[in-house]
Amino acid sequence: MKGLGAYIRGLRETQDISLRELAKRLDCSAAFLSDIELGKRHPAEDTLKSIAKQLGTTIEALMKHDVRPPIDDIKRITDEDPRFALAFRTVIDRKISAEQLITLLTKNSGKSQKK
């Protein structure tokens, strides 16, 4: 499934709306909208509603593509065990892909079950 930014970009391109034109309609900068489409920034709910309106969809349809875990869950996990914060940072810093991480976890899961 496409992430939120890629989904927004796809809708925009399907409707033949330029990045600058949509940014103008949303009253935001093209750089800000580009960051959203690239997944570098996540829009606030009011911005998301405006995007949905401009692209002829619903906020619910857009939210289906927001694959971020709820921030409260991340905070709870890292508060309970700060090593998770270090693990998350290490994955990001080393640019480990989701596929690489899943492969690593799957291999290690099999080893721990054998013990």
| Domain identity same for 57 and 9 | yes
Q: Nearest to residue 33, comparing CAs of 56, 9, 13?
A: 9
Q: List phi, psi (to 5°) of 77.
A: -65, -45
Structural domain count of the chain: 2
Predicted pLDDT at 115: 47
| Domain identity same for 59 and 75 | no
Predicted pLDDT at 15: 98
| Amino acid (1-letter code) at residue 91 | V
Name the residue range of residue 35's domain. 4-63
| Domain identity same for 59 and 110 | no
CATH of the domain at 16: 1.10.260.40
Q: What is the pTM of this model?
A: 0.63
Predicted pLDDT at 105: 86
**Would you give per-residue pLDDT tens digits along the chain (115 residues)?**
789 999 999 999 999 999 999 999 999 999 999 999 998 998 999 999 999 999 999 999 999 998 887 777 888 888 999 999 899 889 989 999 888 988 988 887 765 555 4
Predicted pLDDT at 57: 97
Distance CA 4, CA 43 (A): 10
